[in-house]
Amino acid sequence: MFNFNLQLFAAGDAVNTTAGIANANTGNVTPYGETGGLSNEMKTYYSDYLIDMAEPKLVHDQFGQKCPIPKGNGKTIEFRKYDPLPKMTQPLTEGVTPSGQKLDMGVVSAEVKQYGGFIELSDILMLTAIDNNLVQATKLLGGQAGRTLDTITREVLSGGTNVQFAEGQVSSRNRLVGGKDSGNHYLSVDAVRRAVRYLKKMNAETINGSFVGIIHPDTAYDLMSDPKWVNVKTYSDPEGIYQGEIGKIENVRFVESSEAKIFHAEDLCAESRTLTAENYTVLDAEENAAANCGSGSLYKLAVGETITEEDGARLVGATIQINCSNQYESAKVCGINPDGSVLYLEAPLMIAPSSGDFIYPGEAGFEGCDVYSTLIIGDNAYGTTELSGGGLTHIIKQLGSAGTADPLNQRATAGWKATKAAVRLVEPYMIRIETASTFGN
């Protein structure tokens, strides 16, 4: 529910008349097809409302070091990080003042970029009156802005160098198994415990007494079945609950977001998620030259399906996973032959596939299953820009504001523009747990 101060929208009550929209206090009438300017109060109201709608979506921004948008400093923004002081193991000498120490501060720079979107509104919408359409448009724009800016931060965090595959049973993403008879690599309390151990070993500071985890609902489903899970509803101190917080385990408070990173492999072709192998051979010199995939020996894998030009454009540069008689091999596709029935591979396979062996997407988990990222974060691990002070602005263009481009005053627009940057500050203060999930098979 929202409370509105109606006086923000007009100097007096706006009343529809046959001639136009009349201000009940002054009697002035704005003819239909013409508009008055938005008051400063209205502009402030809509700007604040946009930010209010965007902020709940900014889950990945919640725990970063905040930095205001720079004024007059170009496109570069600076975040500060402080190195810990060394131990002082030398005893003090009586009457002698020891040497002082300097604060060791590092600076991490990032380039700010602009993002934005808008909605076009017809001349039926009169911006001089109280109109729910503008409120609804602003609400939708706020949600769009929030999800956009959250994704930008998420992608920066998901590129971190510290990654843990489930409980450490496997060494690569494409070995993560979901829903197989032989077991699975779902998120577990032991995986969380291992991540916490790493952050503690790196001397990462907690955030308000705990580390923070950003988790997808699919992954949360697997973790919440553990008997050690503490639901947020049972907290003895409900104050200070984070936006989206669902519970905690092993001194990690988890915030749930449907925007948490999922590593999803695209289908290999439009007609099928998988392909089937026919035969595997080494290219001869003439074929190698015709393949135009660069120097060195190439290898060709004939498939039973016909790959379209569109499929081929997506496959070139992608990784595939091949079930070579129940031994799985990974390879990178560097090209496709003209008739679309042969994949050129950059490197040889240790085991040659047999006719009928399945080929899976290789840029996610085992046999192409989705892989979910759960971020475990300490204090000052990363930095983001603030929404206020120019970070996110609401822009309204009224009917006729386009001049001759809108000669009949038919179009108005409402939009948003954001200036944004996000950067990882201290890599050891953050770790990404990659797992499969019950719902990502």
Residue 38 scores a pLDDT above 80: no
| Residues in contact with 409: Cβ distance below 8 Å, sequence separation at least 6, in sequence order | 33, 34, 35, 123, 399, 400
How many CB atoms are located within 10 Å of the residue 391 CB?
22
Beta strands per DSSP E along 257-324: 262-263, 275-282, 299-303, 319-324
Mean pLDDT on 142-171? 94
Mean pLDDT on 420-427? 93
Average pLDDT, the chain: 83
How many CB atoms are located within 10 Å of the residue 42 CB?
17
Mean pLDDT on 177-183? 76
Q: Which residue has the higher pLDDT, 362 or 82?
A: 362
Residue 236: what pLDDT? 78
Per residue in 280-312, pLDDT tens? 988 777 777 777 676 666 788 999 988 888 888
Residue 197: what pLDDT? 97
Mean pLDDT on 61-71? 86
Mean pLDDT on 19-37? 41
Type of residue at 143: G
305-340: string of b/e by CB count within 10 Å (b at 16+)?
bebeeebbebbeebbbbbbbeeebbbbebbbbbeeb
Q: What is the dihedral of CA 197, 198, 204, 207, to 10 degrees?
A: -60
DSSP letter, residue 272: B
Mean pLDDT on 191-214? 96
The segment with the largest mean pLDDT, out of 27-31, 50-54, 100-104, 374-378, is 374-378
- Using pLDDT thresholds of 50, 70 and 90, give the confidence band for residue 23: very low
Q: Which two tokens stand for residue 17?
A: 């008349």
Quick one: residue 326, left, alpha or beta (phi over 0 = left, psi -120 to 50 = alpha)? left
Query: Cα 13 vs. chain centroid, distance in angstroms?
Result: 43
- CA dist 403 and 32 (Å) reads 17
How many CB atoms are located within 10 Å of the residue 21 CB?
21
Q: Which residue has the higher pLDDT, 104 or 52?
A: 52
Identify whether the C-beta of residue 318 lies closer than 8 Å to the C-beta of residue 360. Answer: no
Identify whether the C-beta of residue 275 lies closer than 8 Å to the C-beta of residue 267. Answer: no
Residue 90: what pLDDT? 80
Mean pLDDT on 245-252? 96
**Alpha-carbon Rg of the chain, whole angstroms?**
29
Pick the CATH number of 168-232+243-263+369-382+427-435 from 3.30.2320, 3.30.70, 3.30.420, 1.10.3470: 3.30.2320
- Using pLDDT thresholds of 50, 70 and 90, give the confidence band for residue 57: confident
Same fold, 168-232+243-263+369-382+427-435 and 275-363: no
Residue 314: what pLDDT? 86
- Using pLDDT thresholds of 50, 70 and 90, give the confidence band for residue 124: low
- Among residues 201, 108, 197, the alpha carbon closest in space to that of 421 is found at 108
Domain ranges (residues) in the chain: 168-232+243-263+369-382+427-435, 275-363
Residue 126: what pLDDT? 52
Residue 11 scores a pLDDT above 50: no
Residue 182: what pLDDT? 64
> Among the listed ranges 105-114, 127-136, 155-164, 378-387, which one has the minimum average pLDDT value?
127-136
Mean pLDDT on 360-381? 94
> Among the listed ranges 17-31, 86-100, 393-407, which one has the minimum average pLDDT value?
17-31
Task: Tell me what percent of the residues of the chain surpass a pLDDT of 90.
Answer: 44
Class of domain 275-363: mainly beta
Q: Which two tokens stand for residue 331?
A: 């390879």
